[in-house]
Amino acid sequence: MRLNAVLEDLAAEAMQQALGLEERPAPLLRPTTDPARGDYQINGAMALAKRLGKKPRELAGPIAEAMRRCEAIATAEVAGPGFVNLTLAPTWLGAQLSQALAEPSLGVEPVASPQTIVVDFSSPNIAKQMHVGHLRSTILGWSIVKLLRAVGHRVIGDNHLGDWGTQFGLLIVGMRTWGDEAALQRDPIAELERVYKLASAKAKEDEEFAQSARDELAKLQSGDPANRAQWEAFVRATRATLDAVYERLGVEFDEWLGESAYHDALPGVVETLLARGIAREDQGAVAVFFGELDPSTIEGALPDAIPKKLAKSETPFIVRKRDGAFLYSTTDIATALYRKNTLKADCSVYVVGAPQALHFQQLFATVRLLGVDMALEHVSFGQVLGEDGKVLRTRAGKAVTLASLLDEAEAKARQVIEQQRQAGKLRIADDDLDRAARVIGIGAVKYADLMQNRTTDYRFDFDKMLAFTGNAGPYLQFNYARVRSIFDKGGLDFEQFVAPILPEAPEEQSLARELARFGDRVHLAAERYEPHHIAQHLYAVASEFSRFFTNCPVLKAEGATRDSRLALTALAGKQLRAGLDLLGIETLERM
């Protein structure tokens, strides 16, 4: 159920009838933040009054009266200059919730027109360690994949690996000079990073060395078998390390179309840009100068291809360097064309940090100048900061690797679990300890990230994220397990339980109102690529559930009240599990 849409419809109909309008008016319905004002507010009378030349309160009166006749509405009161405050009828709400409980989707409806959406996420660079920046892209991207799927889109998750570029010339000559085969077997990424550092330092002071790196790169790019084999070995070694991290995070991709996949298409991209007058030569390089272009004179270009900001910016989008080399930009143009033409995508979403904002503005404009009619979204995010408020680093000042961060999260989770067990607050068996430490530790890291509005920077704080109270992953997991233990204790089947829900006590009604918003919040999170709406929902549900459970006996209640409370409990549990899953977080049945 999309409660907002249902109530909008009711309100529109009530307004139309009460005021005898020909067209369907816009009710401008909003959930209220202050419970004293009811659950929802209709604001539409204000705008309508202006148009009809009447006082808003004169219109609000009949609207409220018409709303009172709806089964869904308990009270409708005129307030302020002409608002209508609504409270929902608990019996109606209960009926909606019982129905949602019986559906596998928990009442989350699919969108009217499903699309094919490519989500480009994680996308680390080969021969380098994944660091915390990639953590955000990976965690966020995976949640966005799940959210879009939950509302019915066809989603292709694509890991656009940085597996093609100048670093490979340096790595090839570097490995010849300093490579240690045994080290490469043992810890491939560490060895590749070590050699890369040596090679790039040497290239800066030794022109001959730098030239040989460029030569090897050119050979690789023109298909030289020996260099090709070496490159493949680098990719394979890195893939093994990446796969291990993705497995720990429970993240999967549908495609692994890295930069190298588009190599053959790059010359054609530049030729097309030149032929259509989108790019031009400048001192031997080829670039797009947005300030000079007028989309209306470019054949096939989308009219609003160049946003104002870009038209004014001086920075060109270089697509071929003077030495003939192609760039990140060229690959991304080829990638966008492939997504549109071959994958038939309606939309391409890039989950990449804020520092690449200009790159994506330029990319999107270029692709639109090429006439590609596909929605393009840069889903940007802020940085992960250490407890000192600066970019997260190790004590030695190095970037924190993803693997070490996850190790620490699991180790810390294990400590916290031990403490809670000793305090008698958790009942996790010795045999389940490994799994619990992983589920709780990794879940805490994910939740701490996803509960934030993604555009803000946030501080990484293990103590806060591993809390069993307050807005943290373990608290939500714990509440899910609490629901499961109620059903265990009652000898009832959690998965199958359905009963009419009749919210009576205030705590039951508050919980019911929160649960009824699930569908709206899933859609909101999917539309805006903002998983934090799910996090907010789950925290609200867990808090309301705790209040309900403290004040309303469940197993000790009788008859229809007991069944109703059990059904509310089951729905809270199922939403917690489904919502955590949308964030890519696992749950434990017993804690």
Residues at the interface with ligand ARG (CB under 6 A): 120, 123-125, 160, 162, 332, 335, 350, 352
* DSSP 8-state secondary structure symbol assigned to residue 291: G
Return the number of the residue (120 or 507) whose C-beta is nearest ligand ARG: 120
C-beta of 161: minimal distance to ligand ARG in Å?
Answer: 7
Q: Which is nearer to ligand ARG, 345 or 542 (by Cβ)? A: 345
Q: CA dist 94 to 371, 502, 505, 510, 518, Å?
A: 50, 5, 13, 12, 14
Residue nearest to ligand ARG (CB): 162
What the block records as the tokens of 275 is 């032929």
Looking at the Cβ atoms of 108 and 347, the one nearer to ligand ARG is: 347
* Choice between 221 and 330, CB closer to ligand ARG: 330
CB of 244 to ligand ARG, least distance (A): 18
Least distance in angstroms from the C-beta of 265 to ligand ARG: 14
| Least spacing, CB of residue 535 vs ligand ARG, in Å | 24
| Residue 456: partners with Cβ closer than 8 Å, 6 or more residues away | 382
Please provide the size of the chain in residues.
591
Q: Are 578 and 521 in contact (CB under 8 A)?
A: no
Residue number, 125 or 313, with CB nearest to ligand ARG? 125
What's the min distance (Å) between Cβ of 445 and ligand ARG? 20
Chain-centroid distance of CA 529 in Å reads 5
The 10 Å Cβ neighbour count of residue 24 is: 11
- Judged by beta carbon, residue 335 or residue 401, the one nearer ligand ARG is 335
Nearest CA-CA partner of 541 in 450, 584, 480? 480
Q: How far is the CB of 348 from ligand ARG (least distance, A)?
A: 9
**Closer residue to ligand ARG in complex, CB, 368/565:** 368
Q: Which two tokens stand for residue 194?
A: 């070590």
Q: Considering the complex, what minimum distance in angstroms separates the CB of residue 81 from ligand ARG?
A: 49
Dihedral Cα 504, 510, 511, 515, nearest 10 deg: 110
H or E element in which residue 551 lies = helix 532-551
Identify which of residues 63 and 127 has a Cβ nearer to ligand ARG in the complex: 127
Per-residue exposure over 271-310, b if at least 16 CB sit within 10 Å of its own CB, e if not: eebeeeebbeeeeebbbbebeebebeebeebbeebbeeeb
Q: Which residue has the tokens 């409980």?
A: 101
Is residue 369 classed as helix, strand or coil in its secondary structure?
A: helix
Closest distance between ligand ARG and the C-beta of residue 391, in Å? 15
Q: Return d(Cα 184, Cα 197) in angstroms, integer.
A: 15
